[in-house]
Amino acid sequence: MIRRLPLGSLRVFVSVAEHLNFTRAAEALGVSVSAASLQIRVLEEYLGRSLLRRDGRHVHLTEEGAALLPRVRRSLEDLEAALDDVRAERGAGILRVSMLASFLQQWLLPRIPRFHAAHPGIRLYLHTSVDMVDFVHSEHQLAIRLGRGPSWPGVESEKLLEEWLVPVCTPALLRRHGPVDDPKNLERYTLLHSDSEPWSLWRTRDSAETVNVADVPAAQFDDSTVIVRSAMRGHGLALARWSLVADEVADGTLVLACRKPVVFHESYWFVYPRRVRSLASVAAFKAWLFAEAAQFAAPRAEVRA
């Protein structure tokens, strides 16, 4: 007779054991803390053993829990891989990649023709979202996300691109108002920024002074691409991610207004579930994408008026 294994409880156990915190584990699984606690209690009753020891807000593995964790993790990964292999075969005809809309429009889209030329047999479906991809329940094989590091549970993640913040405007606007190496010169401009790259993040390397956007007139948008378009129309000085304006700076549509770009606190990451590593289309897209990223130069320390 096949016993009814508490698979849901095992998933919760692995998450709590990895985070050593019920709140973070519950958030990672998309369940409530009380539901996670209940699942652990069910599993401990099923086994007749205590797996976790609670010390206030802290959680520790018992000796039995520590011994069980690697075996449960391995078994769940094998089970997930077996199920995902079937799903991967079903969707093998199209490579589905999720990314930020701004990254797609400003960085990837101009480069996509080179991928199609090199790999005419691979069909791409490019999806845009800021949320993390649920690789278990969706058909996406890959994601490109902006973040602080490889902290996404249950997936592989490799750094694709560093990012910088740069102030940019039209050449005419820079000639009129001058460079902004000194943050005090920002008051000459109408400042444009998005919710994700506010001017309060910007400061020069030689100064600890940050920008107080309350002190200067500003236009704020909830879309990083919109501020690039606005800057191109001469509406003001935009604080933008370098990946979104590098092509415009290269062709002279926009210019850097500061000699010292600021390293952004987030980078682009190439994220994927382990089960897709063997797919030829994934390997081809990854190799092409990282080759393109390797050719993408950091902003140069110069101002061209």
Q: Do 256 and 117 share a structural domain?
A: no
Q: Do 128 and 64 share a structural domain?
A: no
Q: Do 187 and 58 share a structural domain?
A: no
Q: Do 107 and 239 share a structural domain?
A: no
In the predicted model, residues of the chain with pLDDT beneath 70 are: 1-3, 83-93, 151, 203-219, 301-305
Q: Do 133 and 171 share a structural domain?
A: no
Q: Do 52 and 194 share a structural domain?
A: no
Q: Do 244 and 116 share a structural domain?
A: no
Structure tokens at 201: 């993040």
Query: Quick check: is 277 in a domain?
Result: yes
β pairing state of 164-169 and 156-161 = unpaired
Query: What is the predicted pLDDT for the residue at 205?
Result: 44
Query: What is the predicted pLDDT for the residue at 91?
Result: 46
The CATH number for 55's domain is: 1.10.10.10
β pairing state of 267-272 and 142-147 = antiparallel
Domain count, the chain: 3
Instruction: Report the predicted TM-score, pTM, of the whole model to 2 decimal places.
Output: 0.68
Give the C-alpha separation, 143 to 81, whole Å: 18
**Domain boundary residue, one of 88, 117, 144:** 88
Q: Do residues 242 and 165 lie in contact, with contact meaning Cβ atoms separated by under 8 Å? A: yes
Name every residue whose Cβ is closer than 8 Å to that of residue 29 and which is 6 or more positions away in sequence: 11, 12, 15, 36
Structure tokens at 78: 């094998």
Q: Do 287 and 144 share a structural domain?
A: yes
Query: Quick check: is 22 in a domain?
Result: yes
Give the C-alpha separation, 24 to 3, whole Å: 30
The domain in which residue 19 lies consists of: 7-88
Query: What is the predicted pLDDT for the residue at 305?
Result: 44
Give the C-alpha separation, 77 to 88, whole Å: 15
DSSP string, 246-271: HHHHHTTSSEES-SS-EE-S-EEEEE
Query: What is the predicted pLDDT for the residue at 151?
Result: 67
**Domain boundary residue, one of 65, 88, 111:** 88
Query: What is the predicted pLDDT for the residue at 131?
Result: 86
Give the C-alpha separation, 157 to 151, whole Å: 8
Q: Do 141 and 98 share a structural domain?
A: yes
Give the C-alpha separation, 301 to 179, whole Å: 12
**Domain boundary residue, one of 88, 103, 136:** 88
Query: What is the predicted pLDDT for the residue at 70?
Result: 92
